[in-house]
A and B are shown apart, each in its own frame.
Chain A
Amino acid sequence: MIKAIIIDDERNSRDIIALMLERYCPDIKIVAMAGDCADGISKIMEHHPSLVFLDLEMPDGTGFDVLAGTLPHLHFEAVFVTAFEKKFIHIIRFSDVELILKPIDKEGLLQAVNLITERITSNNIAPRYEILLENYNNQSSSDWKMLLMDINGQFSTINIDDISWLESVNEHTLFGLKNKPTITSVQPFRYYAELFIPLHFYQINNTQMIQLSSIQQIDSNNSKILMNSGHLLDITERRQKDLLQKLGQR
């Protein structure tokens, strides 16, 4: 049995999460529900749950505030439930924390619950929430960190600033890093593509993406780029002009 708490400012939302867990996840037992951050924190401290379903935005704060108030004292896994993820997507994804979108679909819920259950049972303790809170408190995206799970189940923490390039390799993603060996992430390339593009990354061909600030040199006919990881990458011809324009704007 896994003890769980639901924190959401809308009653309808709390009700549907509870209803769905009751129907599809018999292993999870809802011990308490809260309508705002303050109540949430006190409920957690009271019940010591293993799993907390957290709404992101509440009248008196955010889900991150709840984590910040409880995690130093307790250890639990958190799953964010939100209607609209855009604002905090980077903070959540970079720290490899689970996220469920409203309206909740059964498969998403089950996948997240299964993953969490596995984590709890295997006692796998990656510093997810530490990174999450650190990024949350950090204003500048270039100072952010990222938790990477590689294909061997090992995690490593990297600075976003150190990422030189990404490459799609067999449904996984190869990370080229500045002054570090490459890492192959379990996540697919497209997972990162939508995540990184807003952060001054640029897809130079079908399988590769670079961080613009990591460019060391572009050759005279603009077809090859030397990255600060030491790798020489090809750029698709039709993207050359676009890239130069983007660099000019910076």
Chain B
Amino acid sequence: MKRIVIMLLLFFYTAGAFANVNLTPIDTLTTDSTFAVAKMDMRPYVTVSVSESNNDLPPEVFQYQPEIFHDSPQNNGQVNDCWLRLIVKNTSKQDVSYRFFAGWHDYMYWFFQLPGQPVQQLSATGLMLDNGGVERWNHYAFHIQVPASQTITYYLHIINKSYNENPLVPILYNEETYGSFHDVQLDSFRKEAVIIHVLLGMLLVFFSISIINYIQLPDKSYVYFAAYILGLILFFALRLESKPFQLSFFHKWPMLKYYWDVPGLLFCFYLMYLLFGNTFLNLKERYPFMEKVFTWVAAVVGGLIVLCMVCISAEKFHMPTIIYGYVYFLTLAPLLAVFIALARRSRHHPLVRFFLYGSACLYLACLGSFLLQVKPMGLLGALGELTAPTMLLMGGVLLQAMFFLAGLSYRNKLVHLERTRTQELLIKQLNKNKELQRKLNEQLEELVKEQTTEILRKKQELEEQRKIQLETEYDKKLTEIELKAIRAQINPHFIFNCLNSIQLFVMQRDYEYAQKYLSDFSYLIRKTLDFSRRNFISLSDEITYLNTYLGLEKMRFENRMEYEIVVDPEIATAELEIPAMLLQPYVENAVKHGMTNPKQPTGQLKIFFNQIAPDMLECVIADNGIGIARSKALRTLPKHHQSSGMEISQNRAELLNKMYRTDIQIEIIDKSLEDESNSGTIVKIFIPQL
């Protein structure tokens, strides 16, 4: 047992020792009655044929070729299609039963041949052939059962299409040893599976964190990081085996592992890494040249990924490894240069530090893992084995992911800090703005207030001015009208004719008459001057005035006219006030027209004062002249020759109405319009009592 353990240890950890063992070839394994092995290297007994041949029938020629055997994974660079032949001769009297195990291969076909009989296929199995649920332990250790005194030739047809061939060493086990070998290998695989479990768990957490962060803060670098983690998850999940070479998840499509092996590495450690670096370090602003380099390299790597996948789908499994090998070697030095450049360029930037530490971890882990495997496996073999990551590599990946995540968190913090600072600034600015606004508002208000006051003041001024102007205008108009009234009422004709009459009486020495005439005339002039300055006079004054005036007129016209003034006895003439100089022009007009009627020898003039309502005085001036209509028609004189006494009186009434808000109405009726036989004019003046 001790031997077995030592053998196994040798097989696993110092497998290289086997390669140097030189054994003498023996064509046939002869099992006599003393033959009893627990485990036996079958390399001397196995002959090999690598010639292209029918899949169903073994080739004719087999040679002793121990060099095709290897006890560690090996990159063949091509499809390995070989036949192994083992002849077992049982010379004992008992049946022998052993297990023949040649390693883990893609396709394996197991044949046997009895002497003189055709070759028969016993089983077909392999990593690429078996479906899920197949116990590979039982399948891959082929039964060798030789009855007593018989010789059987066994053939094993192995096809390995993938670039890395698992160890290929033919070993013969008895049932017992095979069981313990099985257990030991299972233990080591479980160890790795647990590690991958843990790693997958961590990666899933990283993935969740980055996705959550992206939702909280839409930053592209989270997306790249998440894609990177997702790529790794897929990469490791494909490796998650509960038993050796027995895929737990993807057994339905075992090729997926190959599809993602090299492309996954390129995707995670080149494409996403570069894109992540680009956005994470904000190279576009910080280091535009580097950004360009990163973008271009990423694009090229993207193209390579596609190319790898195409190669795999065309079953050229070695091509991706070669491509990866070139990429790996070509980028080693440039990556180092980039790290240094980045470090120099933004030495003090914490994000760069995170990125660099993460990158350096992976870089060193990768390099270390590579160097560790170069020795036993050769350059290409070691490269291929990077796809089956060692603990060191896994640690590197984990460290890188952690550094990146930490960097992202730090970036978050920076963004948060920046935001807080901006917010603070903004708040400060806002406060300042508010203050400014308040001040401005105050100023504006003050200005508006000032201007409003100014406007109001100006408006008031303007109004006052207008009022004054209006008043002056009124006054002026009134004065004008007054003056005109005086002129109209002291009709110059009348005055001078009166004086003329007085002159005659004097010359005729009729002094009595002259004196009466003169005193009446003087009274009239005095009263006219007096009244024209007043707006209102009592009705009794007006009656006396009119009486005097009419008396003088009567004297002038030698009794060719008669007049009568009738006052309603109800009227208190001394108290009642009427506008001064309102009636006189109408009376004068009546005198003038009353004497121009050829049909009437005597002019008849009547003046009535009636109280037609408690607050309305009516004054009627009636004559028996030709009537106002005919009088107007008779007037042939040019307009500027016409008298304007009545017009002035009308204006005066309007002005008084305006000034005292009363409503003096003047109505002029031609008698002939009502009755043809009648003639004359009636003027009705309605004076409201104030």
Contact = CB atoms under 8 A, between A and B. Distances in A.
Interface of A: 10-13, 15-16, 19-20, 57, 59-60, 62, 83-84, 86-88, 101-104, 139
A86 B504 contact: no
A101 B496 contact: yes
Nearest to B504: A16
Nearest to B637: A62
B53 to A, nearest CB: 131
A12 B492 contact: no
Contacts of A102: 496-497, 499-500
Interface in B356-384: none
A83 B558 contact: no
A59 B556 contact: no
B437 to A, nearest CB: 54
Contact of B641 (A10, A12, A13, A88): A88
A11, A12, A19 — which one has the most chain B CB atoms within 10 A of its CB?
Answer: A12
| Chain A at the B interface: SS class | mixed
B508 interface: yes
13 contacts: A10-B497, A10-B556, A12-B497, A13-B500, A59-B596, A83-B497, A83-B500, A84-B492, A84-B496, A88-B641, A103-B499, A139-B638, A139-B639
B620 interface: no
B495 interface: yes
B511 to A, nearest CB: 15
Nearest to A59: B596
A101 B639 CA distance: 24
Interface in B536-586: 556-558
A84 B493 contact: yes
B479 interface: no
Given A13-B504, A57-B493, A83-B492, 11 more contacts: A10-B501, A12-B501, A12-B504, A15-B504, A19-B504, A84-B493, A84-B496, A86-B492, A103-B500, A103-B503, A139-B638
A11 B493 contact: no
Contacts of A19: 504, 507-508
Contacts of B503: 16, 103-104
Contacts of A20: 507
Contact of A104 (B500, B508, B641): B500
Contacts of B500: 10, 12-13, 16, 83, 102-104
Contacts of B486: none
A11 B558 contact: yes
Interface string B504-518: 100110000000000
Contacts of A13: 497, 500-501, 504
A19 B506 CA distance: 12
Contacts of B493: 57, 83-84
B408 interface: no
Closest 6 CB pairs of A and B: A83-B496, A84-B492, A16-B504, A12-B501, A102-B500, A103-B503
Nearest to B641: A87
A59 B641 CA distance: 15
Contact of A16 (B494, B507, B556, B557): B507
Nearest to A20: B507
Which of A11, A16, A57 is packed against the most chain B CB atoms within 10 Å?
Answer: A16
Contacts of A62: 637
Contacts of A60: 596, 598
A12 B596 contact: no
A133 to B, nearest CB: 14
A15 B504 CA distance: 7
B595 interface: yes
Contacts of B558: 11
B496 to A, nearest CB: 3
A104 B637 CA distance: 26
A60 B597 CA distance: 9
A226 B240 CA distance: 124
A140 to B, nearest CB: 9
A84 B637 CA distance: 17
Contacts of A104: 500, 503
Interface in B595-654: 595-596, 598, 637-639, 641
B594 to A, nearest CB: 10
A60 B626 CA distance: 12
Contacts of B494: 83
Given A10-B556, A83-B492, A83-B495, A59 B504 contact: no
A62, A84, A86, A103 — most chain B CB neighbours (10 Å):
A103
Interface in B480-502: 491-497, 499-502
